[in-house]
């Protein structure tokens, strides 16, 4: 079934990201699915982490569980239709907003109210007849940036998204941190202002409640895109403050930041973040920690979902940034 996004009257839009249509011939591919509050995207990702086709549709706002699922089915089928002769799907990898149950058996993305306890993994597995793996979208992005992005070559880093909300994933000793229920990396709920704003989690002064796009808009009365230099500086400072605590806690020397708010703010944001990080992280092992922009751009979430799929079928990701000790530099 082909779904249409309300308001724009258009179905999924497809674009081949590869300039060489022969690339997919005789190639194993992962069907990558990225589920966000703004858009639903699907694509085909090869073992090198290249997105060879991509398609997306606006997330139906206000839709119920079935309406959201119908939209997702449309975008998944559009991506599968991009398969070229000889290419074969070996898995389906999914990045979705949290929280979720372990393995993504049931997801309840905070920014998609129509899905609460939705059985995403089993529904996609039944739809695609593929081994299907689901993980948090920020953790998926960490996989992607470690594989092909700004953290390639690093075995110890945090990757963050600063956009509507704030999320993160931590790679330590070359492995993604999971935690008891798979929720490790929620840097958005590190407290940066003890008497700060009420957070969606129920606490006060979390990074997400102070520096996310929604928080900046609520605090300043205008969208984050039009934030004043002072507001940009403050957001960067608070992100750097949270990263400083995490860097000292976990012995990290690199934070990679993606997301429309951080990347939209650009250089002044990152300068403020680095200044605060350098001021606050003073231990011998953390004082040189860096905070830098993510590299993968608009396809980062699909590369991350692809990485979730490749990891799920036990296929070691290529190691372009293998460390000098020969150990794989790519998260597993």
Q: Which is nearer to Zn ion, 152 or 206 (CB)?
A: 206
Q: What is the per-residue binding string for Zn ion in 165-204, x denoting contact by CB under 5 A?
A: ------------------------x---------x-x-x-
Residue with tokens 């993305």: 109
174: CB partners within 8 A, 6+ apart: 155, 327, 328, 329, 330, 331, 332
Strand partners, 136: 96
Residue 222 CB, shortest distance to Zn ion, in Å, is 23
Residue 90 CB, shortest distance to Zn ion, in Å, is 38
Q: Which is nearer to Zn ion, 174 or 205 (CB)?
A: 205
Helix 65-80 vs helix 120-128: angle between axes, to the nearest 10 degrees?
A: 40
* Stretch binding Zn ion (CB under 5 A), from 152-160, 206-214, 279-287, 318-326: 206-214
Residue 18 CB, shortest distance to Zn ion, in Å, is 40
Residue 91 CB, shortest distance to Zn ion, in Å, is 33
Residue 178 CB, shortest distance to Zn ion, in Å, is 20
**SS3 for 60-91, per residue?**
CCCCCHHHHHHHHHHHHHHHHCCCCCCCEEEE
Q: Among 92, 130, 206, 232, which residue interacts with Zn ion (rule: CB under 5 A)?
A: 206
Q: Which is nearer to Zn ion, 124 or 199 (CB)?
A: 199
* 327 part of the interface to Zn ion, by CB under 5 A: no
Total residues contacting Zn ion (rule CB under 5 A)? 5
The number of CA neighbours under 13 Å toward the Cβ of 145 is 33
* Stretch binding Zn ion (CB under 5 A), from 132-140, 176-184, 205-213, 324-332: 205-213
Residue 11 CB, shortest distance to Zn ion, in Å, is 36
Q: Which is nearer to Zn ion, 149 or 188 (CB)?
A: 188
Instruction: Report the alpha-carbon distance of residue 193 to residue 210 in Å, rounded.
Output: 8
Peptide bond between residue 146 and the one before it cis (omega within 30 degrees of 0): no
Q: Give phi and psi for 168, each to the nearest 5.
A: -165, 165
Residue 291 CB, shortest distance to Zn ion, in Å, is 21
Residue 293 CB, shortest distance to Zn ion, in Å, is 24
Q: Which is nearer to Zn ion, 16 or 214 (CB)?
A: 214
DSSP 8-state assignment for residue 100 = B
Residue 197 CB, shortest distance to Zn ion, in Å, is 10
Q: Which is nearer to Zn ion, 42 or 214 (CB)?
A: 214
C-alpha R_g of the chain:
19
Instruction: Report the alpha-carbon distance of residue 38 to residue 40 in Å, rounded.
Output: 7
**Which tokens in the block code for residue 133?**
């793996």
Q: Which long-range contacts (CB under 8 A, 24 or more apart) does 5-11 make?
A: 5/57, 5/58, 5/59, 5/60, 5/71, 6/58, 6/60, 6/61, 6/63, 7/58, 8/58, 10/57, 11/57, 11/74, 11/78
**Interface residues toward Zn ion, by CB under 5 A:** 189, 199, 201, 203, 206
């Amino acid at each position: 079934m082909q779904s249409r996004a309300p308001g724009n009257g258009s179905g999924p839009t497809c674009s081949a990201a590869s300039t060489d249509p022969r690339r997919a011939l005789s190639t194993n591919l992962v069907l990558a699915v990225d589920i966000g509050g703004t858009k639903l995207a699907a694509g085909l990702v090869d073992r090198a982490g290249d997105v060879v086709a991509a398609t997306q549709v606006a997330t139906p706002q206000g839709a119920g569980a079935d309406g959201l699922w119908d939209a997702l089915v449309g975008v998944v089928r559009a991506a599968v239709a991009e398969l070229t002769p000889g290419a074969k799907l070996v898995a389906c990898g999914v990045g979705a907003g949290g929280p979720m149950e372990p393995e993504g058996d049931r997801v309840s993305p905070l920014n998609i109210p129509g899905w609460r306890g939705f059985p995403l993994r089993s529904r996609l597995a039944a739809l695609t007849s593929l081994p299907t793996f689901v993980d948090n979208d920020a953790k998926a992005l960490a996989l992607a940036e470690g594989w092909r992005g700004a953290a390639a070559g690093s075995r110890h880093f945090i990757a963050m998204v600063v956009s509507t909300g704030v999320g993160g994933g931590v790679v330590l000793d070359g492995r993604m941190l999971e935690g008891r229920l798979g929720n490790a990396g929620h840097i958005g709920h590190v407290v940066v202002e003890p008497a700060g704003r009420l957070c969606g989690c129920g606490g006060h002064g979390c990074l997400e409640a102070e520096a996310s796009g929604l928080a900046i808009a609520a605090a300043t009365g205008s969208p984050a895109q039009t934030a004043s230099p002072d507001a940009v500086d403050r957001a960067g400072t608070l992100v750097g403050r949270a990263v400083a605590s995490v860097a000292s806690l976990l012995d990290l020397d690199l934070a990679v930041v993606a997301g429309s708010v951080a990347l939209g703010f650009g250089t002044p944001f990152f300068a403020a973040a680095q200044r605060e990080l350098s001021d606050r992280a003073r231990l011998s092992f953390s004082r040189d920690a860096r905070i830098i922009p993510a590299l993968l751009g608009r396809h980062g979430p699909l590369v991350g979902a692809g990485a979730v799929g490749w990891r799920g079928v036990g296929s070691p990701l290529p190691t372009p940034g293998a460390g000098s000790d020969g150990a794989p530099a790519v998260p597993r």
